[in-house]
Amino acid sequence: MIILASASPRRRELLLKMGIDEFEIRPSSHEEPYDKSLGPEKAVERIALMKGRDIASGAEAGDIVIAADTLVFLDGEPLGKPRDDKDAVRMLSALSGREHRVITGLAVLSQGAERVCHAVTRVRFLPLTKEEIDWYVRSGEPMDKAGAYGIQGLGGLLVDSIDGDYYNVVGLPVSRLAAMLREAGFNVFSRVK
């Protein structure tokens, strides 16, 4: 059984797009703080691994647990999910007209093995007016997303360019996940109908 250790509807949709139509959602309640001393890449890998271990501890033999954590980094500082509208405005104003990095830590745990990696995508925002930022915040879309935007929705209107994996920005680098699942004995390519 594939277990997704996340309640993210975007990650669920991406698994379905990968042809994985049988999986269980068991969100991890583990809250790992961001550890600056590790650096961005290793820190998100650690958070994903801790979420995966939280769920794997209750999994059955043969289960494969997928866990991920996505953070937006501007000038090396992490931007998580906004606390409220004011925080979303602050984040979007800081991102306006600038490049930032989206880093996702990815962990696949099965039969005692732990596979961990990360993906990095550079995203450049268009210069945004206060009115455009306010409009986007009023849409409600920023509230459950790292960096206060969703590239797959209205937030795509804010993006000038990306360099790297689009699906990483959505929250799950699917090509890396497919390779990790293959190593765990679950070949996505042989299952697509």
Distance CA 40, CA 95 (A): 18
Longest dimension (CA), the chain: 53
CATH class of 2-190: alpha beta
**Among residues 69, 84, 134, 144, which one is catalytic?**
69
Mean pLDDT of 93-99: 98
Active site residue 69: yes
Residues 110-146 have pLDDT tens digits of 988 999 999 999 999 999 999 999 999 999 999 989 9
> If you count DSSP H runs as helices and E runs as strands, how many of each does the chain have, helices first?
6, 7
Domain boundaries, given as residue ranges, for the chain:
2-190
For residue 192, pLDDT beyond 70: no
Mean pLDDT value across the chain? 94
Mean pLDDT of 7-28: 93
**Torsion (CA) 113, 184, 122, 85 in degrees, nearest 10:** -70
Residues 139-180 have pLDDT tens digits of 999 998 999 999 999 999 999 999 999 999 999 999 999 999
Residues 41-62 have pLDDT tens digits of 999 999 999 999 999 998 888 9
Predicted local confidence at residue 190, as pLDDT: 82
Q: What is the Rg, in whole angstroms, of the alpha carbon atoms belonging to the chain?
A: 17
